[in-house]
Amino acid sequence: MIYTVTFSPSIDYFVKLDDFEVNKINRSKSDFFCPGGKGINVSLILNNLGCKSVCLGFVGGFTGKYIEENLNRKGIETSFIHIEGNSRINVKINDLKYETALDGTNPCLKESDIDELVNQLSRLNKGDLVSFNGRFPKIVSQRRIEEIFSLLNKKEIEFIIDTSSPHLEQILKYKPFLIKPNKEELEEVFSKKIDSSKELVDKLKELVSRGVKNAICSLDKDGAILVNKDEVIILNSFKGKVIKTVGCGDSLVGGFIYKYLESKDVKEAFKYGVSAGCASAFSTSLATREEIERLYRQL
């Protein structure tokens, strides 16, 4: 089974208007809201592809109830830990020129909440796959990182990391199946500005030499790079009208997981993941199977 972990699920409220003006009443042309959070987005893409997963993480209050019930109605299994406070609401404003985000405050987690997550992970089995998406909260200490990822290693459970957390470098020694930093996150890991594509590839190779099995760096409109011990693959983005960028990186991860589990072919999984990321960028919501495969067939 595939498990996605979202430490800070949200309700994402998308607002579209012609021109956002500061210090004025802005009236939307259209709006909608849906469950959000990076791991949840991965599960939503997998669900669009007909692939089952279980959402783990923390929800609270009336907003948390909406997130849980909405996912269940879509046929996505959840095993959220219920916490005090309300899950956050994020506002995503999209006008003809810009995307603007106003992200709500996360409810505070307690040590006992993290205990319960560790207990959930301890019940997983060899052959399961866990995708950790989004920044780890401050309460997840270095000791907790050691506890979580040594547990997964001991149980021979593959895991994926897509986070800008300062813990990323600490996690490398546990040999993640996939990591997906962007250029800025790589610069954070190495405390160094990266000025060229060659240097970018060299840094990804260094991560692979430290135990990462597959490293993908997303380059937004410039495509993505995958590096593992056998090859370097560079894919350009597809040409099309970008409607939004929210969830595109998560779509890449979801598409990669789906295709890899189907084919066991990393190259095809990478191509499918990039197709999924671009398809979501060209859509008002997360991409459908048809939208993803229309692009994938072009590669």
DSSP conformation class of 111: H
Question: Has residue 298 been placed in a domain?
Answer: no
Strand extents, DSSP E, the chain = 2-6, 10-16, 30-36, 54-59, 77-78, 81-82, 88-94, 99-102, 129-133, 158-162, 178-179, 215-218, 224-227, 232-235
Q: Is residue 221 scored above 80 in pLDDT?
A: no
Question: Has residue 297 been placed in a domain?
Answer: no
Max Cα separation, the chain? 56
What is residue 89's three-state secondary structure?
strand
Rg, C-alpha atoms of the chain = 19
For residue 140 the two structure tokens come to: 């997840």
Active site residue 220: no
Overall domain count for the chain? 1
Question: Has residue 299 been placed in a domain?
Answer: no
pLDDT tens digits for 71-128?
Answer: 999 999 999 999 999 999 999 998 878 888 899 998 999 999 999 999 999 999 999 9
Q: Is residue 165 scored above 80 in pLDDT?
A: no
pLDDT tens digits for 30-80?
Answer: 999 999 999 999 999 999 999 999 999 999 999 999 999 999 999 999 999
* Active-site pick, 12, 113, 128, 250: 250
Range of the domain at 234: 2-21+30-292
> 124: domain CATH number?
3.40.1190.20
Question: Has residue 277 been placed in a domain?
Answer: yes
